[in-house]
Amino acid sequence: MKLGRIVLTGAAGMVGSAVREALRERAGRLVLVDRVPMDARAANEEVVTTELDGLGGVLDVVRGADVVVHLSGIPDEAPLPDLLQANVLGTHHVLEAARLGGVPRVVLAGSNRLTGHYPATRTLSADLPPRPDGLYGVSKAAVEALGHLYADKFGLKVISLRIGSLEPEPVDARHLATWLSPRDCAGYFAAALTTPVTGFVAGYAVSANARRFWELPDLGYTPLDNAEAFAARIPDADAFFTSTTPQGGPFAAPAYTLPHLPPPT
C-alpha cells in the first residue's frame, strides 16, 4: 500500500538512515526533517532543515501527512532535563501537532532500554511494566505514556517500536539477544506505516535472534536475520545470559548514569 505524504523526523540519524529508502518506496512524498542539512535523493523526497523546537514549527511540517515517523531526540544517556526537553516535550509537540494537523497515525522511536533492568534470562512481552536501565529509558517510558494518552483521549493510532541494538553486525554478547539488523529495522518501520492497529501499540523491533529477550511483535513484519550466525566471533557469550545480569548490560550499571546526575549542592 502506497501512502501520500510521510514525514520522517530525525532523518539524518542512524535509524533514519536505515529506514529512509523503505519509507520512500511507500510514499508519494517523503518529507525528511532534521536539524542537519541533507540532500534529496529522489524526486519524491523533500528536505526540511529545522530544529522542531516548538509546536508551531512542528505543525507547519506535519500538517496533512498520512503518517509521521518520529525519530528525533537524544538517543542515549544524558541529564534528565535535556532528555525531557528533547525526547518528552519533543514527542508531545509531534503528537499535538498530529492531532491539530489531521495526521491519523504516528510511529514513535521507542527503546529496549525502557525495560533494561529485567534479568537477561527472562523473555518479555511489551505489556510488562517499565524497568528502565537509566534516565534515557525513563524518557522513553514517558514517551510511550504520551502515546497512550493521545491514542486513548484523541483517537490517534500510535505505534512505539522499541528499537533493539541497530548495528551492521553483532559485536558483543548482549547483541546476540538485542541485535536489530538494518534490513529488519527498515522492515519494521515500513510495516508500521499501514499495519492495522487500534489505539496505542508497543512492540520490540528486534531481529529473529535465537537468544532474544523479547517476544516478537504482531505488527505485520517477520524479521529475517539472526544474531546467532555471528555467535562464534563473540567469546564467552554464554556468561552474559544469567539471572543476575540485567538485559541492559553496561547501560544498567550505576557508572553509566552517574556522570549525568546533578552535582550535590
Q: What is the CATH number of the domain that holds 40?
A: 3.40.50.720
Residue 265 lies inside a defined structural domain of this protein: no
**Does the pLDDT value for residue 56 go beyond 80?**
yes
**Domain with 179 in it:** 3-260
**Does the pLDDT value for residue 89 go beyond 90?**
yes
**Does the pLDDT value for residue 214 go beyond 90?**
yes
Residue 61 lies inside a defined structural domain of this protein: yes
Strands (E), 21-164: 27-34, 45-49, 67-70, 105-111, 157-163
pLDDT digits (tens, 9 = 90+) for 105-116: 999 999 999 999
The number of domains in the chain is 1
Active site residues: 136
pLDDT of residue 149: 98
pLDDT of residue 113: 98
pLDDT of residue 199: 98
Cα-Cα-Cα-Cα torsion 208, 210, 215, 217, nearest 10 degrees, comes to 10
Q: What is the overall mean pLDDT for the chain? A: 97
User: What percentage of the chain reaches a pLDDT higher than 70?
Assistant: 100
pLDDT of residue 235: 87
Residue 9 lies inside a defined structural domain of this protein: yes
Q: Which three cell numbers stand for residue 83?
A: 532528555
Residue 53 lies inside a defined structural domain of this protein: yes
pLDDT digits (tens, 9 = 90+) for 124-162: 999 999 999 999 999 999 999 999 999 999 999 999 999
User: What percentage of the chain reaches a pLDDT higher than 90?
Assistant: 96
Residue 112 lies inside a defined structural domain of this protein: yes
Q: Which three cell numbers stand for residue 73?
A: 531526540
Residue 250 lies inside a defined structural domain of this protein: yes
Residue 192 lies inside a defined structural domain of this protein: yes
Average pLDDT over residues 237-251: 95
Residue 58 lies inside a defined structural domain of this protein: yes
Give the CA distances from residue 238 to residues 170, 226, 245, in Å, rounded to whole numbers and listed in that order: 15, 16, 11
Confidence of residue 53 (pLDDT cuts 50, 70, 90): confident
pLDDT of residue 1: 75
**Does the pLDDT value for residue 223 go beyond 80?**
yes
Q: Containing H/E element for 202?
A: strand 200-205
pLDDT of residue 265: 83
pLDDT of residue 15: 98
pLDDT of residue 91: 98
Higher-confidence position of 52 and 246: 246
Confidence of residue 74 (pLDDT cuts 50, 70, 90): very high
| Neighbour-count burial for 121-154, b at 16+ CB within 10 Å, e otherwise | eeebebeeebbbbbbbbbbbbbbbebbeebbeee
Confidence of residue 255 (pLDDT cuts 50, 70, 90): very high
One-letter amino acid identity for 212? R
pLDDT of residue 201: 98
